[in-house]
Amino acid sequence: MSAPLPPSQFALRSRLLHWLMAAMILTMLFIGIAMVASLAEYHRLVAIHRPLGIAVLVLAIIRLINRKFTTLPPFPPTMSASERKIATVSEYMLYALMLGQPLVGWAMLSAGHYPVVLFGAVYLPPILPANPILYAVLRETHTILAFLFFALILAHISAVLFHTWMIRDRLLDRMALWPTRRIK
């Protein structure tokens, strides 16, 4: 115990952000897929989707800044070099989607000449000029990114659970909301 040990868990701030955003993003993905397939609930769901999406964007920026200023726990030794590479790449893809997907949504509404209303009298300015082709491309992109996002999240969950339950290396402990024992 003489040598300084790296943290065994992510910082509490990081863990809170992770789980808060996990819940928000999964909710967003389900609202998104449900609203485009619903007549009766379309309006109610869209009214949640827009502000929640912007909240994800704001939290993603906070999260990236937070990440810059915290020490990350190392990967457990049970992860091979290639697994580490995959984990790192998919992590960056998730960050890119957390920022990109709300921005595409905002840009898409702007290009479609829609007002970007969050709630009540609160709204955002357009970030693109109204343009039909731009709208069509961004609308399609929004769908593709949503599926990619969902697939990545499923892969992320599968990988962490596989490590935690099959390899039993307690990988999930790094992100647990409660303090955990250091892996001996």
Asked whether position 148 contacts other proteins by CB under 8 A, the answer is no
Asked whether position 176 contacts other proteins by CB under 8 A, the answer is no
Distance in angstroms (rounded) separating the CA atoms of residues 8 and 97: 27
Asked whether position 135 contacts other proteins by CB under 8 A, the answer is yes
Question: Please, are residues 119 and 51 in contact by the beta-carbon 8 Å criterion?
Answer: yes
Interface pick for other proteins out of 19, 23, 44, 64 (rule CB under 8 A): 44
Distance in angstroms (rounded) separating the CA atoms of residues 11 and 17: 10
Nearest distance in Å: CB 34, other proteins: 4
Residues near other proteins, by CB under 8 A = 3-6, 29-30, 33-44, 46, 74-78, 80-83, 112-117, 120-125, 130, 132-133, 135-137, 139-140, 150, 154, 157-159, 161-163, 165-170, 181, 183-184
